Amino acid sequence: MPRYKLTLEYDGTPFSGWQRQDNGPSVQESLERAAAALDEAPVTVYGAGRTDSGVHALGQVAHIDLVKDLAPDKVRDALNYHLQPDPVAVLDAEPVPETFHARFSATKRHYLYRMIDRRPPLTLDRGQVWRVPRPLDAGAMHHAAQALLGQHDFTTFRDAQCQADSPVKTLDAISVSRYGEEVQLTCSARSFLHRQVRSMVGSLVEVGVGKWSARDFKAALDAADRSRCGPVAPPDGLYLVAVDYPPEA
């Protein structure tokens, strides 16, 4: 059975998350329905990461095995046809070896979190960005965020329902920058804990509005205590931007 790697973009607003579930529509379910219509047989979709309810993707990766041996462009276009009207798009489809796995072959995941600090409500960006109604000091947020680099016990920024075996993770990169009225946080790691990015963002906003100092933020991280986490940022502004794989994959 030919295996295809899919690069996906989606608006997570109407979905209960990536993973197929009983309490609402999921991105995985939409893709499996589209793939089954294409292949005329049940198809299981495997994703690189399980984005939460309301979280978006610019470059989520998944893989599928089909009975039919089709040209990659045909797979992409047919899936997009059957995905309508769901806000999911297959940007690229490419054949890969049977050893490729969207989740287990991944070496790094890249996330973006978008914030707009303004008092007026959002119109065009509603559901796509977190509106913070107070001025944010992006420089202070960036400075505080550097304490997260490297290997740490991220219990403070780990959701209580997280199923990871260990709270110890290694953050490879994190940056906070301002672009006009928008503040963006980007971060990269091999893997993340459940709601880790949103938890880190929420606490960094406490720094950005002047409630916390960089020392307060580092103390919260070092405490390895979930109760020391600031308010968790909403899913609206979070995007899975890209997933990296080794060349041989």
User: Could you give the residue numbers annotated as active site?
Assistant: 52
- What is the Cβ-side half-sphere exposure of residue 30, based on CA atoms within 13 angstroms? 26
What is the number of other CB atoms lying within 10 angstroms of the CB of residue 41?
A: 11
Q: What whole-number distance in Å separates Cα of residue 68 and Cα of residue 233? A: 43
**Both tokens of residue 22?**
């009983």
**Both tokens of residue 107?**
């070496």
Q: Which residues touch 101 (CB under 8 Å, ≥6 apart)?
A: 46, 63
Q: Which residues touch 80 (CB under 8 Å, ≥6 apart)?
A: 89, 90
